[in-house]
Amino acid sequence: MSGFVAIWPGQASAYSGQVDTLILAFTILIIALSAPVFILMLVFAIKYRRGKPADRKHPVNQRVGLEISWALIPFVLILVFFVWSTDLFFELHTNPVDALEIDVIAKQWMWKFQHPGGQREIDEVHVPAGEPVKLTMASQDVIHSLFIPALRIKQDLVPGRYTSLWFTADKPGSYALACAEFCGAEHSSMGGRFIVMTPTDYSAWLEQSTVDSSLAEQGAALFRSRGCSGCHGPSATVHAPSLEGLYGSPVPLEDGQVVTADEQYLRDSILLPQSQIAAGYPHIMPTFKSVLSEEEVLKLLAYIKSRAGKGGPQ
């Protein structure tokens, strides 16, 4: 949008077009529901103003059928939009398989992005057009919220848990990204650029970024240097669960529950190991919460994920 003043934000995905259609249609409905009030109030105020002769015979003061109808009809119309909107929202929260996974770490007051290949960016993220991208997001301090207006999406990053966001951007270009949750003194400067590139440009960009090793390889190095391999490695003598093939598989817990080994479970097992103990294993895992940073935890997860297809859990 150009000109004196923009009134509509640019779109960078098909999803953003769907949201725009929804809000335009809903706006038409609410104008239709409220216009009678505005028009009739003005008409009545003029037509029946005090001292002006008018037909005031037989004013009705109660008509239950009428009142029920003007409560229910608008409500039913609005329910249609509820279904439409909720359906879109559920789509936004159903992660596609085979998405490109990018990690996001927020801290006062910057955004850090880690690509699977190990490329890291600050306050800027490059994504390929036409390919689903899944962001796995963690905050290092307070609550932040990643807001990409051109995609019509945002999601809070809450300390202590992973949140995720996915999208398929389809229009190459550079768009704004912002922090939408008040996060302290420099909240308003915690922004950046969201850059959509054609797949070939994206590959070229990945190539020219200097990286030593992929995220999973960095995680593997941490796995050894932080002592994880001493218990969880293939040659360990300690009775600890193997991490081969663990990611995404069901884990029976000591208390009889069965959980899926998703990102949140793995994170909690590293940082709060006594909260969910796998059935049949002793309570010997120490906490790593003051040892590992959010970035390192995400690297370890990348390593564990990379072992997902390698043999079943024991």
Minimum distance from CB of 246 to other proteins (Å)? 23
User: From the list 28, 122, 173, 186, which residue makes contact with other proteins (rule: CB under 8 A)?
Assistant: 186
What are the residues whose beta carbons fall under 8 Å from the beta carbon of 282, sequence distance 6 or more? Answer: 239
188 lies in the site for other proteins, by CB under 8 A: yes
SS3 255: coil
262 lies in the site for other proteins, by CB under 8 A: no
The 10 Å Cβ neighbour count of residue 99 is 16
Six token digits for residue 86:
């909720």
- In this structure, the strands spanning 120-122 and 110-114 are antiparallel
Scanning 21-29, 207-215, 236-244, 246-254 for contacts with other proteins by CB under 8 A, the matching segment is 21-29
Scanning 35-43, 122-130, 197-205, 291-299 for contacts with other proteins by CB under 8 A, the matching segment is 35-43
124 lies in the site for other proteins, by CB under 8 A: no
* Bridge partners (DSSP) listed for residue 193: 124, 176
Q: Is 163 left (phi over 0), alpha (psi -120 to 50) or beta?
A: beta
What's at 22, amino acid-wise?
L
81 lies in the site for other proteins, by CB under 8 A: yes
Sign of CA dihedral 41, 47, 53, 54: negative
Minimum distance from CB of 162 to other proteins (Å)? 9
User: From the list 102, 105, 106, 178, which residue makes contact with other proteins (rule: CB under 8 A)?
Assistant: 178
Minimum distance from CB of 168 to other proteins (Å)? 16
Residues between 226 and 245 that touch other proteins (CB under 8 A) = none
Residues between 268 and 297 that touch other proteins (CB under 8 A) = 272, 275, 289
78 lies in the site for other proteins, by CB under 8 A: yes
179 lies in the site for other proteins, by CB under 8 A: yes
- HEC letters along 179-220: ECCCCCCCHHHCEEEEEEECHHHHHHHHHHCCCCCCHHHHHH
- Cβ closer to other proteins: 142 or 253? 142
90 lies in the site for other proteins, by CB under 8 A: yes
Spatial strand order in the sheet of 110-114:
120-122, 110-114, 100-107, 133-139, 163-167
Spatial strand order in the sheet of 124-128:
124-128, 191-197, 173-179, 144-148, 153-157
- Cβ closer to other proteins: 45 or 97? 45
- Cβ closer to other proteins: 198 or 275? 275
80 lies in the site for other proteins, by CB under 8 A: no
110 lies in the site for other proteins, by CB under 8 A: no
Asked whether 168 and 199 are in contact (CB, 8 A), the reply is: no
C-alpha radius of gyration, the chain, whole number: 27
Residues between 43 and 62 that touch other proteins (CB under 8 A) = 44-45, 48-51, 54-62
Distance CA 12, CA 169 (A): 6
107 lies in the site for other proteins, by CB under 8 A: no
96 lies in the site for other proteins, by CB under 8 A: no
